[in-house]
Amino acid sequence: MSKLLPIIDAVSGGSGRGISYYSAGMKCARKVVLDNEAKDGRLTREAEGQAPREYGKGGSEATRVGTIYHALCEQWHGKGITFPKALPSNDLYDTEYHEAERLFKFYKKSCRNDPGYWGHVEAVEMALPRGEEDIAALAEYFQFKGKLTALMDMVVRIDSEAHARIKLDHGITLPGTGLYILDHKSSKQKANTGQWDMSMQFVAYQLMYFACTGEAPRGMIAANIVRHKKLEAGKSFNVHCVPWEEAERGRLALTTMLNVSSGLIEMSMPNPTACFDWFRKCYHYEQGNCERV
Ligand code: SF4
């Protein structure tokens, strides 16, 4: 039976033309184009009524849990901040909601049940660019004419008390007090922190924030819950920081990636080496949407 859960548009996520879009373009630009057409219902086979398999309905279980978990965290930290996306959930998300809630309860405990644990919350779900000025600033900073967006989970200003308690609780010494971008993550296994050090998202968000506001963050924090059956303090919650200096070093790589990827997407360039990644056939290969040449 359908019931109302106290949250959220759990289907959507992402910012539109964010880093994951351009990263996907580097993997297979044709897939990015076809994915968009499928979402819009523009693919020929679908238009011809050939009953394609259900496409991308809410993503994987991990994605759905992650999205709801994110929203719960941000709602908690953003007390007093109105969310534009307050929709009832439904049965499709019932199981995932309860799993996300389990993670969220543990997250709250890991933050001493204090929404101000990370310091002063400057923003939750901060979208960039905020307007024409930001668009121009991003274009200039990255020498990139395409659309570029970001949706940051949280922007926090960490004071000395918060700095000390984060060190005490999570064994991490942040580069200093000041402004940080924070990303809520959930994973099934303990994350390899190197994945964030190498992450274009961690580079892009910091540089985009700087380009649009003129203030360089001290770093970007990954606050990651590991989905252990039994969530344990000191084991199931990891905190990692990629400092600003690392982001700055990644500027050229990011600029190159944005320009190359958007060019490939414009050409709808196929990459036949990506059709069977992770031993799974690409959806568009299965459906005959792509001739791979
Ligand atoms: S079938 Fe291969 S080339 Fe075509 S979209 Fe999929 S991954 Fe790209």
Domain 19-287 classification at class level: alpha beta
What pTM value is reported for the model?
A: 0.85
Q: Is the pLDDT of residue 56 over 60?
A: no
Cβ atoms of residues 95 and 58 within 8 Å? no
Whether residue 103 has its Cβ less than 6 Å from ligand 1 = no
Instruction: Give me the percent of the chain exceeding a pLDDT of 90.
Output: 60
| Ligand 1 atom, smallest distance to 31 CA | 5
Tell me the pLDDT tens digit for each residue of 131-163. Answer: 999 999 999 999 999 999 999 999 999 999 999
Distance 113 CA to ligand 1 centre (A): 46
Mean local confidence (pLDDT), 238-266: 96
Distance 27 CA to ligand 1 centre (A): 9
Tell me the pLDDT tens digit for each residue of 4-20. Answer: 444 444 334 455 799 99
Sequence spans of domains, the chain: 19-287
Distance 128 CA to ligand 1 centre (A): 30
Determine the pLDDT at residue 198.
Answer: 85
Other beta carbons within 10 angstroms of residue 151's beta carbon come to: 15
Which of 184, 178, 175 shows the shortest CA–CA distance to 125? 184
Mean local confidence (pLDDT), 190-212: 91
Tell me the pLDDT tens digit for each residue of 59-108. Answer: 678 887 888 888 888 888 886 554 444 434 455 557 778 888 899 999 99
